[in-house]
Amino acid sequence: MIDLHSHTKESDGTLSPEELIWEARSAGVNILAITDHDTFAGYDQALEPARKVNLELICGIELSTKLGHQSVHLLGYFMCCEQLAELRSWVLEMQASRHERNIRLAARLQELGFDITLDEVSARGHGMTGRPHFAQIMVEKGYVRNIQQAFHDYLGESAKAYVHRLEPRFDETVRRIREAGGIASLAHPVRIQGDLPSLLPALCDVGLNAIEAYHSDHGPEHTKLYLSLAKQYGLRVTGGSDFHGETVKPGIKLGTGRNNNLGIPDDLAEHLCPAENHPTVASSSSIRSRTEHLGAGMIVSNHVPNVDGETLSGLGMTVWFTGLSSAGKSTISQAVCEKLRDMRHRVEWLDGDVVRKHLSRGLGFSREDRDENVRRIGFVADLLTRNGVIVLVSAISPYRKTREEMRQRIGNFIEVYVNAPLRICEQRDLKGIYRRARAGEMRGVTGVDDPYEPPLAAEIECLTDRETPSESAARVLSAIQARLDQRKT
């Protein structure tokens, strides 16, 4: 079983990280994400216990954001933790705002006649004190019957003791998750105020790339709606119980939710990563993107109009990112895409997974089929380039001759070799593609039993075992700007 939404006592759960791991293993969960509020501490402490019981642990976090006049929660998932330093620093700032809210909440409860101090509540909250810890004290002192009443009457957003917390904007939080290489998923969308189908396009425009379709609060009709919206907007799907422990959220079990209502597919975790070598794994969305269709295929769009409805950049080119799976092609190209969007250029991102799923549906992984896939990508890239679009292609494209064919066809072409040693790619392989290949469970995996032919004269080589994605993206952007300047003269 899979559960991608759980909490430890490092935020507002009742179990220690180690206890949560044992609870998950006892429940039959073999893939677990710890998504504590505003902290990675629970995940960090659970790594070693998870390793000991052979449980796959995914790094996650749940962040409160401000969307209009409502508080909306985002789940961030990080399949590679190498880019988290900046996000961790920002999360510490969010913890400070939580502490300031707790001071005001304690004062408000005292105004209402409750003998509750911040010190006694903080003693329950370990590193991250929240409203559930206030609720626990209220129950123990006999002010309310249970935690549910505490929230309904006093602590909930419309209750008499509620105090607002300074929360980051929804778009800023999405951006920070995505810049850290993460997946930004809309948590328990059933709680969103307003018409979600009408709101979702705007949320996708600022970078939302996943939705929590499976949740303990969701009925079958909710899950059906969210799966449909995910398909419509090219979002990934996440799901989890939102387990906190029996005293905080009674009746919710790890892996199964409330009364076994979750039904999370066994392959859901695989869909959190791009898997360019495997046709059955879902594709990723780009930063701040919509899904649009071109003929039989699908591209990821980042058109930015000016006030007159016309785009501001008319100089097209194709930037082709090639390299092994897990070398970092998608991460770098996403970062480049975001910067170009900020500079008001017309940008399209052709991700290898997206093309595989739509434009190249039915193709296998023989040399002939791989070449045909690259030619289809090249056809779309050429069409867009000739219409003044900067096209970013991220695809393994393993054979040198076919890539050179695309260079000759497109003309204004920049090749970016995203170079990471195979051993590094295998270490990053959270999708398990290399592991399955080494175990003989998969064949035709580039770099293992199918060759990769590195470029001989790429315009840019990104050594992703030595430089950060930001450093690589900066060099690519410099090359793009130089080409634009050259074209303008």
- Active-site positions read 397
Question: Widest CA span of the chain, in angstroms?
Answer: 77
* Dihedral over Cα of 264, 43, 27, 266: its sign: positive
Q: Is 354 helix (H, G, I), strand (E, B) or coil?
A: helix
Find tokens 């600022």 and name the residue. 206
CA distance to 6, 70, 79, per residue, from 183 (Å): 16, 22, 9
Residue type, 427: Q
Residue 26 neighbours by CB distance under 10 Å:
10
Alpha helices in 348-412 (DSSP H): 352-357, 367-385, 400-410
Closest CA to 269 of 27, 79, 456, 461: 79
CA angle 223, 225, 229 (to 5 degrees): 115
Distance CA 49, CA 262 (A): 25
Q: Is 141 helix (H, G, I), strand (E, B) or coil?
A: coil
Pairing type for strands 70-78 and 56-67 reads antiparallel
Residues contacting residue 290 through CB under 8 Å, at least 6 positions apart: 201, 204, 205, 233, 234, 300, 301
Pairing type for strands 390-394 and 347-351 reads parallel
Token pair, residue 227, equals 């799966």
Residues contacting residue 54 through CB under 8 Å, at least 6 positions apart: none
Distance CA 449, CA 247 (A): 52
Phi, psi of 469 (to 5 degrees): -60, -35
Give the H/E segment covering residue 390: strand 390-394
